[in-house]
Chain A
Amino acid sequence: MKKLVSIFYDVRENEWKPVFLMVGLHFLLMVVLYFLKPARDSLFLVETGPDQLPIVYIVLALVSLPITYLVSDVLARFPTRQVIGYVLGFLTLNLMLLRWLFLFDHPLIYMAFYIWVGIFGILVISLFWLLANSIFDAAQSKRLFSLLTLAAIVGSIFGSQASSLVVSYTPVITEDLLYISIGILCFAVLILYFIPGVNSENDRKGRPESRITGNDKTPSAVKTVVGSKYQLLIAGIIGLTTIATTFTDYQFKALSFNAYPETENLTAFIGTFYAGISLASLGIQVLFSSGIIKKFGVAGAVLTRPLGMMLGGLLMAVEPVLASVVLLNGFDSATRYSIDKTGRELLFLPLSQHIKERTKLFIDLFVDRFSRGLSGAILLLLLYMMETPITLITIILLFTIACWIFLGYRAKKEYIDTFRTSLQRMLVDTDSIELDLNEPVILKLIKESLQSGNDNQVLHTLILLENTDVEPVAGELRVLLNHPNTEIRLNALKLLQSVESVHWLEDVKNLLNDDSPEIRVETIYYLCIHSNDDPSSVIQSYLKTNQPQMQSAALGCTCKHGEQDDDGPDPKLFDDIMNNLPDDEKEQVVIKAQLADALGFVKSRSLASRHLSNLIQDSNRTVVTKALQSIAKLKLDRMVPDLLQMLNTKKFTPEVRETLGSYGNDYLTLYKSKFLDASLPLMVRKQIPGIFYHRPNETSMRHLEDMIEADEPDLRYHVIKTLNKIHREYPGLEPNRERVYSCLRSESGNYFNLLAIKAIQPESRPNSILLKALSEKMDQTLERMFRLLGLIYNQKDLYSSYLALKSISRDKRSAAVEFIDNILDPKDHKLVFPIVDDISEEKKMETGYELFNIEKVKYDQALIKLFNGNDRWLKTCAIYSVSPVCPATLQERVETYTKSDDPLYRETARMVKQRNQRYNGSEKQANENHQQS
């Protein structure tokens, strides 16, 4: 089985289990859907008649929107897998209830069932793809989603054919298909339970995008669509498509009911029909889609469905019988999920990801539902006007299709213009699209873009071409090998490596002396895979040269592109190259960067450690960055102390933190202990919380919660800041509320303690520096408190409130106070509100005395409190504030600090001592003079 799937799909070793289970889940969900669809149609038509169809079209359009809202809201709060589990469980119970209600045989129940199946279809499809997006990352999606789609097609064929066979050849009646569906759904829930490894990052990041934010998003989406001619055309096409499809569906169901008035016969017929169109859909997708797109481009993809329907519609106009409508509806349904879907996706391709996210959802949901409701209303009107409006509906249908064809034709021109503009402005998202250069329009635009002369545009296009067969643009890529921009040369070369039909060895050889280390490595790789000789002999020839430039590039190539099973390059080669570096400084940098890069792929960890520990000390940024990247790849234990030491220099702090983060969760305890180790330099300790940001998971959160209790306020600030960053980017990762509260309480206590000291400071003390420092420290404490609140309340709201509190505008400050007064829980309110409230400091202090039993202190006691505290700057200011008239206890403390190890304390204390002595001397002199006089 694995072998068979591997022929067509690139499933990697650790992906088999989730892929297999996801394929199974998708298959079962589709089986249920297509099992229920024929049952729904036949039961509804037989029990209520086709005249009621327009009503259910309208109701379905009306209820599907709130349901989508509700589910998207639930998805924003809970993990996707959990939501799907509950939804499937709920739907299973619904089915049981519906089966029981069928016993009452009331038309309303069949109407409800029709609508229920419609909602079931919307829910299971969208939830399944959300789950798939949360399990697989972007690269996996490109490889695996087509396999999941295949499972859906097979499921739909199987489901519809099975429903037809079951009611035709077994005693099972149509209503009892619900029992079988219940059984299958239970099995699907079981499969869901076994699906491993939901990618929590994708899950969390994916949700906000998939969420419909409703009120705040809809008007701007309308504005965006209305403001763009191209998007209006797309909306128009989708609206007309829905109207035409609804009319066709009505005609099909009405004529089917006329031909098969018995429930079981009708179920069998509709089941067979659905199975047929699923097969036809598969056939069209496999056999014709790419051919049509290749020959006629986007216009072919967009116009195939309406043109086919136009023929079916004309047939219906001439001969309005079941066979005609089967052809009409068959063509409509078979092309809907094959070529037409591709065409629709192509239409969205030129739009930027940002606009696409905003408008695609609006067009797909609002325009589609509105058009469905509108067509229901038109049908209702026609049924009110005449008894059998089939011919009139056909005429309206033909008119609708004609408008659709016109818009589709217009869309082609707009598509080219929009695509060109998007390429020029680099608006096409590089991750979300796969270009098909067989499409003539796209090929032409890509060629234009590659020749544009705009570096950014060229580079953007080259990135777009990754994972695309670039043979049609190989000539353009060859020209770019001589481009002055390094990134462009590198990307063009990498793309050309995959083109097997051309061997431009001479052009590429020129790049062996390129200034970029990566280009040299990739050049050797190109020469290896495109040479007529054996690749290993080619690489050996470069390794044996006497030129360190060639040797290092060949070494880099061996390490980077060599076989996994190899023992790796000879360690001596690294030593030789490092010992024979050329005199030219530029060349030295290139070679060292190549070696640093290559070391990330070697198997000998001692060899890697030996060289990398030297390379991270290099003065060149590129060399150090490459060395750090290699350390991150190899996770070398013995490098950890060196890396921690590097945090002290601050030069490569972000890179070093990322590297330390890449070591994994097992190292987080070590980092925490280093953070709490007071013997380490403060600068190193301050940078450590940032490492945890690179491991956004529960383990990191728990460690950070332990670190939040650090004594030094500055250290606490860095921990809270990291927690804020993680929580902002991964809202699912929540800190322990109790620990946050405990920290908030402690910060609030600090604030009131500082306020108590500030309150007794006489304004006339030397330069009021202590007063200012105290105010600043109180501000910093308040900032930490708001950051803590941001962990348990909406972070954005709290940040805006904090900024407003610090604003010069009185109105903004009062609004912030009002807001905080209203949003905080009573427990938090008690700690925070007295601080931000617009009351006098005396009143604030009263709250502090009550809340924290803070003692009222005298001036000398206050200074002693600061001397005994952990804040270095406050301690310095306190020393400075010891005036000649202060009690002897304080003078003694100053005397002690004159011998302190800390230079800041020492110099301040010595200066204060001299100042006080001078004052005492002059005072003494003044007294003596006074006595003499």
Chain B
Amino acid sequence: MKTTIERVIFLQSIELFADIQSEQLAQIAGITDYFTLSKDEVLFTKGEKSQHLYLLINGTVNVTRNGEENKEFDGPEALGVWGFFDDGDRLLTITCSADCQFLRIDRLDFFDLLEDRVHLSRGLLKYFVKRIRKLIEVSDEVI
């Protein structure tokens, strides 16, 4: 996945970027780095500082929290979203359960990009509003 357009096509499949126009995604594609990890390698561990957003292209990862295995993800998936946006520590540990391909976005580069691109921010806002809506719906169901 070397070219911008291929990365744009991939980014379109990530829910976080679903409401962002493809031309804007090309800007994001411009700040992504491609890398791979082998099976059992750790992407990040709980408590680490969040510097990057990871986008799983191919492969499977395991999510563990407090030593307990929580969930398994296949690509395409965005990993480490909350820490990326709120600059907090990682809440989970993610380990590759197969050979994986990733794209990595640096926090500073991303926010620099956001600074003067309203359409990009608008697309992200839509994503977060959708998430909050979902959470409200879930909590309503629980209540």
B3 contacts the other chain (CB 8 A): yes
A908 to B6, CA, bound (A): 9
Assess whether A650 is in contact with B22, with CB atoms less than 8 Å apart.
no
Assess whether B3 is in contact with A769, with CB atoms less than 8 Å apart.
no
Assess whether B5 is in contact with A880, with CB atoms less than 8 Å apart.
yes
Assess whether B5 is in contact with A650, with CB atoms less than 8 Å apart.
no
Interface size bracket, B side = 10 to 19
Q: How many residues of A contact B (CB 8 A)?
A: 15
How far in angstroms is the closest Cβ of chain A from B15? 16
The residue from B2, B22, B115 contacting A769, defined by CB atoms under 8 A apart? B22
A232 to B6, CA, bound (A): 68
A876 to B25, CA, bound (A): 13
A876 to B5, CA, bound (A): 8
Task: Determine the chain A residues whose CB is within 8 A of the CB of B21 once the complex forms.
Answer: 776
Given known contacts A650-B115, A772-B12, A908 and B5 CB-to-CB distance under 8 angstroms: yes
A321 to B23, CA, bound (A): 88
Task: Determine the chain B residues whose CB is within 8 A of the CB of A338 once the complex forms.
Answer: none
Assess whether A776 is in contact with B8, with CB atoms less than 8 Å apart.
no
Task: Determine the chain A residues whose CB is within 8 A of the CB of B115 once the complex forms.
Answer: 650
A650 to B117, CA, bound (A): 11
Assess whether B3 is in contact with A773, with CB atoms less than 8 Å apart.
no
Given known contacts A650-B115, A653-B116, A873-B23, A908 and B9 CB-to-CB distance under 8 angstroms: no
B119: nearest residue on chain A (CB-CB)? A780
The residue from B8, B9, B23, B116 contacting A650, defined by CB atoms under 8 A apart? B116
Assess whether B22 is in contact with A907, with CB atoms less than 8 Å apart.
no
Task: Determine the chain B residues whose CB is within 8 A of the CB of A772 once the complex forms.
Answer: 12, 22
How far in angstroms is the closest Cβ of chain A from B82? 26
Assess whether B23 is in contact with A769, with CB atoms less than 8 Å apart.
no
Given known contacts A650-B115, A650-B116, A904 and B4 CB-to-CB distance under 8 angstroms: yes
A767 contacts the other chain (CB 8 A): yes
Task: Determine the chain B residues whose CB is within 8 A of the CB of A904 once the complex forms.
Answer: 4, 26
Cβ proximity bits B5-38 to A, threshold 8 Å, 1 near / 0 not: 1101100100000000111001000000000000
Given known contacts A653-B116, A769-B8, A907 and B23 CB-to-CB distance under 8 angstroms: no
The residue from B4, B8, B9 contacting A907, defined by CB atoms under 8 A apart? B4
A653 to B115, CA, bound (A): 11
How far in angstroms is the closest Cβ of chain A from B19? 11
How far in angstroms is the closest Cβ of chain A from B27? 10
Interface majority SS on A: helix, strand, loop or mixed?
A: helix
A877 contacts the other chain (CB 8 A): yes
Task: Determine the chain A residues whose CB is within 8 A of the CB of B26 once the complex forms.
Answer: 873, 876, 904
A505 to B39, CA, bound (A): 73
How far in angstroms is the closest Cβ of chain B from A337? 52
Assess whether A907 is in contact with B3, with CB atoms less than 8 Å apart.
yes
Assess whether A908 is in contact with B22, with CB atoms less than 8 Å apart.
no
Interface majority SS on B: helix, strand, loop or mixed?
A: helix
Cβ proximity bits B24-64 to A, threshold 8 Å, 1 near / 0 not: 00100000000000000000000000000000000000000
Cβ proximity bits B71-112 to A, threshold 8 Å, 1 near / 0 not: 000000000000000000000000000000000000000000
A290 to B115, CA, bound (A): 54
Task: Determine the chain B residues whose CB is within 8 A of the CB of A877 once the complex forms.
Answer: 5, 22
The residue from B2, B3, B4, B9 contacting A767, defined by CB atoms under 8 A apart? B9
Assess whether A873 is in contact with B4, with CB atoms less than 8 Å apart.
no
A636 contacts the other chain (CB 8 A): no
B112: nearest residue on chain A (CB-CB)? A650
A772 to B9, CA, bound (A): 10
Assess whether B3 is in contact with A911, with CB atoms less than 8 Å apart.
yes
Cβ proximity bits A865-879 to B, threshold 8 Å, 1 near / 0 not: 000000001001100
How far in angstroms is the closest Cβ of chain B from A915? 10
A904 to B4, CA, bound (A): 7
How far in angstroms is the closest Cβ of chain A from B62? 29
How far in angstroms is the closest Cβ of chain A from B126? 11
How far in angstroms is the closest Cβ of chain A from B132? 16
B12: nearest residue on chain A (CB-CB)? A772
A769 to B26, CA, bound (A): 12
How far in angstroms is the closest Cβ of chain B from A810? 18
- Which of chain A's residues 854-909 have a Cβ closer than 8 Å to chain B? 873, 876-877, 880, 904, 907-908
A653 to B5, CA, bound (A): 29
A653 to B6, CA, bound (A): 32
A651: nearest residue on chain B (CB-CB)? B115
A880 to B22, CA, bound (A): 13
A653 to B21, CA, bound (A): 24
Assess whether A911 is in contact with B116, with CB atoms less than 8 Å apart.
no
Task: Determine the chain A residues whose CB is within 8 A of the CB of B2 once the complex forms.
Answer: 907, 911
A908 to B12, CA, bound (A): 17
How far in angstroms is the closest Cβ of chain A from B87? 21
- Which of chain A's residues 637-675 have a Cβ closer than 8 Å to chain B? 650, 653
How far in angstroms is the closest Cβ of chain A from B20? 10
Assess whether B22 is in contact with A873, with CB atoms less than 8 Å apart.
yes
A489 to B2, CA, bound (A): 56
Assess whether B3 is in contact with A908, with CB atoms less than 8 Å apart.
yes
Task: Determine the chain A residues whose CB is within 8 A of the CB of B4 once the complex forms.
Answer: 876, 904, 907-908
Task: Determine the chain A residues whose CB is within 8 A of the CB of B3 once the complex forms.
Answer: 907-908, 911
Assess whether B23 is in contact with A773, with CB atoms less than 8 Å apart.
yes
- Which of chain A's residues 740-776 have a Cβ closer than 8 Å to chain B? 767, 769, 772-773, 776
- Which of chain A's residues 768-798 have a Cβ closer than 8 Å to chain B? 769, 772-773, 776
A772 to B116, CA, bound (A): 23
Assess whether B9 is in contact with A769, with CB atoms less than 8 Å apart.
yes
Given known contacts A776-B21, A776-B23, A769 and B116 CB-to-CB distance under 8 angstroms: no
A686: nearest residue on chain B (CB-CB)? B116
How far in angstroms is the closest Cβ of chain A from B74? 19
A853 to B97, CA, bound (A): 59
How far in angstroms is the closest Cβ of chain A from B114? 12
A874: nearest residue on chain B (CB-CB)? B23
How far in angstroms is the closest Cβ of chain A from B88? 27
A907 to B6, CA, bound (A): 10
Given known contacts A650-B115, A653-B116, A908-B3, A776 and B9 CB-to-CB distance under 8 angstroms: no
Task: Determine the chain A residues whose CB is within 8 A of the CB of B12 once the complex forms.
Answer: 769, 772
Task: Determine the chain A residues whose CB is within 8 A of the CB of B9 once the complex forms.
Answer: 767, 769
A621 to B3, CA, bound (A): 36
Given known contacts A650-B115, A650-B116, A653-B116, A911 and B5 CB-to-CB distance under 8 angstroms: yes
Cβ proximity bits A907-930 to B, threshold 8 Å, 1 near / 0 not: 110010000000000000000000
A877 to B6, CA, bound (A): 10
Task: Determine the chain B residues whose CB is within 8 A of the CB of A769 once the complex forms.
Answer: 5, 8-9, 12, 22
- Which of chain A's residues 605-659 have a Cβ closer than 8 Å to chain B? 650, 653
A573 to B23, CA, bound (A): 52
A767 to B116, CA, bound (A): 29
Assess whether B6 is in contact with A911, with CB atoms less than 8 Å apart.
yes
Task: Determine the chain B residues whose CB is within 8 A of the CB of A776 once the complex forms.
Answer: 21-23
A907: nearest residue on chain B (CB-CB)? B3
A877 to B4, CA, bound (A): 11
B20: nearest residue on chain A (CB-CB)? A776
Given A773-B22, A876-B26, 18 more pairs with CB closer than 8 A: A650-B116, A767-B9, A769-B9, A769-B12, A769-B22, A773-B23, A776-B21, A873-B22, A873-B23, A873-B26, A877-B5, A880-B5, A904-B26, A907-B2, A908-B4, A908-B5, A911-B2, A911-B6
15 A-B pairs within 8 Å (CB atoms) are namely A650-B115, A653-B116, A772-B12, A873-B23, A873-B26, A876-B4, A876-B26, A877-B5, A880-B5, A907-B2, A907-B3, A908-B3, A908-B4, A908-B5, A911-B5
Closest A-B pairs by Cβ, 7 of them? A873-B23, A776-B21, A911-B3, A767-B9, A907-B3, A880-B5, A908-B5
